[in-house]
C-alpha cells in the first residue's frame, strides 16, 4: 500500500488540539452553560476564553492574522465546545459562516479589511440570508440593494440571524436585479457600527441554544460603498450555496459535540445509578441503548471528518465534485443522530433526565435546531437526491 494514501483521520496535532480545547471548555465554559441557558444570555465567559485561547475563529488564514487552521481542526474546536455548551459553539461556527463568503469570493481588500478584526477577536461576523418569507426558498428574498452613485443602498429585513446584535459584521444577501431571479442576488458586507440604518429586532424566545441571540437584522436605507460587494454583481446566491457546502459541516460538528456530551453524561450516570440491587449499567437493555448511541455517533463523526477534508481541499482550489453531497449528508446524519442520542440520554436518566438539575434535557433541546438551521434536513435530502440524479 502506498504511504501517501488519502486519509481523513485526525492527525496527532488535531488530537492535541482536541485535548487543549476540551480542557479549556470544561474549565472556562462548562461552569456557565446551565446559567447561560437559564438566563438566555450571551456566553461572554466563553467568548473571552475562546479569544484568549485563539479559538474563536481558527479558520481565518494566517495571511490575514488568523490561526490558519484547516477545516478538520475547525470541526474539532466546534465539536469540543458544543460538548459542554451548544450556544458557545456558535461563536467559532458563526464566525466561519459569516466569513466564508468573503474567503470564497471577496476581493483582497475586503479580506484584509474584515478578516483581521475577526481573527484578533475584536469583532464577530454573522450571515444574513434568510427572511420571514424566504427560509428554505432563500432565492425568494425581498431585501433590495439599489445602485446609488458610487455605492448601494440596502433595504429589507433579515430573519433568524444567529448572534445578531453581538456580531459587528454581516454578510448580507440582497436583490440587485429583480428580473433575474437567483442570478439577480448579490452579497455585501455590512458593518453595523459604521453603517447608519442597521438595527435589530427583539431576541427570539427559543427552545434551545438560548445563549446565542437570534434576531432580525433590519436594514433601512443602509448605504455601503461599491467595494463592499462580495464578488461580482449577481453572484451572491451562488456564493451563498457554495458557502453552505462548507458550513453545513460545522453544524454537523456542533451536533456531534452535543451528542457526545449527552452520551458521556449518560455513561457516567448509569454506572452510578443503582436499581434492583445493582448499577443500571449492568442491565443488557441499557447496554444496548449505549452501544447504539455510540455506534451511530461514531458513524456520523467519520462522515463529518471525511466531509471536512473535502471542504479543505475545495477551499484550496481543488475541484471536489461530491462536496455538496457529503456536506449535506454529514449535516443531516449528525443532526438526526444528535436528536436521537440526546433523547436516549434523557431516557436513561429517567425522571432526573427530565429536570434542569441535569444537563441532558438542555442538550436535547439544543440538538433540535441542528436539524433545522443551515437548511432543514428535508432540504438536505433534496440536495443529496439532486446530486445523485443529475
pLDDT of 240-276, one tens digit each?
A: 999 999 999 999 999 999 999 999 999 999 999 999 9
318 among known catalytic residues: no
What's 203's domain CATH number? 2.40.110.10
> Is residue 5 a part of any domain in this protein?
no
Residues 25-80 have pLDDT tens digits of: 999 999 999 999 999 999 999 999 999 999 999 999 999 999 999 999 999 999 99
Given a cut of 80, whether residue 327 has pLDDT beyond it is yes
**In which element (H, E) is residue 171 found?**
strand 169-175
List of residues 6+ apart from 379 with CB closer than 8 A: 136
Among the residue ranges 10-14, 328-332, 343-347, the one predicted with the least confidence is 10-14
Question: Which residue has better confidence, 5 or 122?
Answer: 122
Between CA 359 and CA 361 the distance in angstroms is 6
Question: Which residue has better confidence, 302 or 2?
Answer: 302
Domain boundary residue, one of 69, 104, 119: 119
> Is residue 380 a part of any domain in this protein?
yes
Q: What is the mean pLDDT of the chain?
A: 97
Domain boundary residue, one of 198, 219, 234: 234
> Is residue 288 a part of any domain in this protein?
yes
Domain boundary residue, one of 119, 144, 165: 119
pLDDT at 9: 82
Write down the catalytic residue from 80, 233, 361, 374: 374
Between CA 126 and CA 300 the distance in angstroms is 26
Between CA 89 and CA 254 the distance in angstroms is 7
Same domain, 242 and 230: no
Phi, psi of 23 (to 5 degrees): -60, -45
Same domain, 31 and 96: yes
Question: Which residue has better confidence, 344 or 6?
Answer: 344
pLDDT at 6: 52
Question: Which residue has better confidence, 2 or 295?
Answer: 295
Q: Which domain holds residue 292?
A: 237-389
> Is residue 6 a part of any domain in this protein?
no
> Is residue 378 a part of any domain in this protein?
yes
Amino acid at each position: 500500500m502506498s504511504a501517501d494514501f488519502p486519509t481523513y483521520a485526525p492527525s496527532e496535532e488535531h488530537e492535541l488540539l482536541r485535548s487543549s480545547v476540551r480542557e479549556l471548555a470544561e474549565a472556562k465554559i462548562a461552569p456557565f452553560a446551565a446559567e447561560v441557558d437559564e438566563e438566555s444570555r450571551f456566553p461572554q465567559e466563553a467568548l473571552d476564553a475562546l479569544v484568549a485561547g485563539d479559538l474563536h475563529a481558527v479558520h481565518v488564514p494566517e495571511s490575514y492574522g488568523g490561526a490558519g487552521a484547516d477545516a478538520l481542526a475547525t470541526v474539532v474546536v466546534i465539536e469540543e465546545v458544543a460538548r459542554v455548551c451548544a450556544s458557545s459553539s456558535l461563536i467559532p461556527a458563526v464566525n466561519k459562516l459569516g466569513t466564508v463568503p468573503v474567503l470564497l469570493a471577496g476581493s483582497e481588500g475586503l479580506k484584509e479589511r474584515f478578516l483581521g478584526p475577526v481573527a484578533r477577536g475584536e469583532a464577530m461576523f454573522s450571515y444574513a440570508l434568510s427572511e420571514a418569507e424566504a427560509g428554505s426558498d432563500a432565492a425568494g428574498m425581498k431585501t433590495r440593494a439599489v445602485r446609488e452613485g458610487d455605492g448601494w443602498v440596502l433595504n429589507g429585513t433579515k430573519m433568524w440571524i444567529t448572534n445578531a446584535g453581538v456580531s459587528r459584521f454581516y454578510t448580507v444577501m440582497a436583490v440587485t436585479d429583480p428580473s433575474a431571479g437567483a442570478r439577480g442576488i448579490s452579497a455585501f458586507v455590512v458593518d453595523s457600527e459604521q453603517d447608519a440604518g442597521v438595527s435589530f429586532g427583539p431576541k427570539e424566545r427559543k427552545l434551545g441554544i438560548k445563549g446565542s441571540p437570534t434576531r432580525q437584522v433590519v436594514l433601512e436605507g443602509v448605504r455601503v460603498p461599491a467595494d463592499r460587494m462580495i464578488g461580482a454583481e449577481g453572484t451572491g446566491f451562488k456564493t451563498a450555496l457554495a458557502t453552505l457546502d462548507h458550513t453545513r459541516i460545522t453544524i454537523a460538528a456542533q451536533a456531534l459535540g452535543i451528542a457526545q456530551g449527552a452520551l458521556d453524561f449518560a455513561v457516567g450516570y448509569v454506572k452510578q445509578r443503582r436499581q434492583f440491587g445493582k448499577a443500571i449499567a449492568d442491565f443488557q437493555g441499557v447496554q444496548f441503548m449505549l452501544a447504539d448511541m455510540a455506534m451511530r455517533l461514531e458513524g456520523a463523526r467519520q462522515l463529518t471528518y471525511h466531509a471536512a477534508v473535502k471542504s479543505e481541499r475545495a477551499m484550496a482550489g481543488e475541484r471536489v465534485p461530491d462536496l455538496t453531497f457529503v456536506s449535506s449528508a454529514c449535516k443531516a446524519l449528525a443532526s438526526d443522530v444528535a436528536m436521537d442520542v440526546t433523547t436516549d440520554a434523557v431516557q436513561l436518566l429517567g425522571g432526573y433526565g427530565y429536570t434542569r438539575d441535569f444537563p441532558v434535557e438542555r442538550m436535547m433541546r439544543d440538538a433540535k435546531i441542528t436539524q433545522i438551521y443551515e437548511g432543514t434536513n428535508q432540504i438536505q435530502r433534496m440536495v443529496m437526491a439532486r446530486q445523485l440524479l443529475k
